[in-house]
Structure 1
């Protein structure tokens, strides 16, 4: 996982820049939209990887399946939390299921399905390591609440993951230390992690572009009190 040191600085820098966006409310809503596209795939990915492990029934697969079976209950409901935050932030929850997320979301998630089916389900551990290996700082939600003017109830996902992700990260490291990882498995985990980190960097850029577009649309929208000038 040392390979992540090559890409994580760019992801961290992009994330910090994203949260300083001049249209914070639009930015936060666009981030929730993109996040929902990623989070809603978590449980299905884990279930598919578990099934693939059971079908293989080798020592490594049994170890991965045991970890995933323990981990999957902790992931249920997180997509619902994002939907609720989006509604509290003024978004239409139905749009989360009808409007497609940025293509990089499909690319990141789709690569996991490929590696689970055509390589080895251990690849999913690299994906999880990136998603839960760098929890948001506890102070981020209050800062964003002040910047956006939204209530703290609209930031429950950030608040929850500031605590849970650190715990999940430690659980993952302990599980990986016990796995009989081959050099090939370690390479696959690293490749998966790098791919996810790269995809999240693209996602940060996509969220900012969407927030820019949303901000421009809002600034150009005529007031409901606006009336056309009288003809001469």
Structure 2
């Protein structure tokens, strides 16, 4: 269940992170395009934390400090560096989809309903990753996005 706690807490941070990035972006130039992209992605992620909580039912979800640290890094970069940094964070998460074997093991142990949200992410994240990779990041911001992606991956591997 520790891994589920991590996934749950990463998912519950998604909507607020996107909301913060949208709020900070300008309504002109490439930032307007990024804002529109984030708004679409926010719609795709809407209520997933609620779904996962429903999926887990009475199973307790203990605080996972790794998820708090990971989301904290993303919040810092969005607020104090630039909202485009969220692209790297999302690329790291959506570019490493939940393995279907893991989803099936949760279904076998806790029932199909318990893995509804996990299955959705396992199936949809590769499509989201392709959309992320296709978005044209201005050259001046590409190093921030790539470094954020690498730092997120490094952090996840250490959990």
TM category, shorter: 0.7 to 0.9
Equivalent residue for 1:100? Answer: 63
Aligned residues: 159
Say whether residues 1:152 and 2:112 are aligned partners. Answer: yes
In structure 1, C-alpha distance between the alignment counterparts of 2:78 and 2:122, rounded to whole Å: 28
Of 36, 44, 51, the residue aligned with 1:66 is 36
The offset of 1:70, in angstroms, is: 1.4
Mapped pair 1:53 → 2:16: no
Per the TM alignment, residue 30 of structure 1 is displaced from its structure 2 partner at its CA by 1.8
| Structure 1 partner of 2:59 | 91
Matches within 5 A, 1:8-23: none
> Counterparts of 1:118 and 1:143 in 2: how far apart (Å)?
40
Equivalent residue, structure 2, for 1:166: 126
Is 1:119 the equivalent of 2:81? Answer: yes
Separation in structure 1 between the aligned mates of residue 122 and residue 115 of structure 2, nearest angstrom: 11
Cα gap change, 1:35 to 1:138, in 2 (>3 Å): closer
Alpha-carbon distance in structure 1 between the residues aligned to 2:84 and 2:157: 23
The CA deviation string for residues 190-228 of structure 1, in whole angstroms up to 9 with x for no partner, is 12111211221233xxxxxxxxxxxxxxxxxxxxxxxxx
CA contact (8 A) 2:5 2:63 kept: no
User: Whose relative contact order is higher, 1 or 2, with alpha carbons under 8 Å and at least 6 apart?
Assistant: 1
What displacement does 1:144 show? 4.1
Query: Which whole-Å CA distance do the structure 2 matches of 1:67 and 1:113 have between them?
Result: 18
Once superposed, which parts of structure 1, at least 4 consecutive aligned residues long, lie more than 3 Å away? 137-140, 143-146
* TM-score normalised per structure 2: 0.88
Structure 1: runs of 5 or more not aligned: 1-28, 204-232
After superposition, the CA RMSD in angstroms is: 1.9
Structure 2 unaligned spans of 5+: none
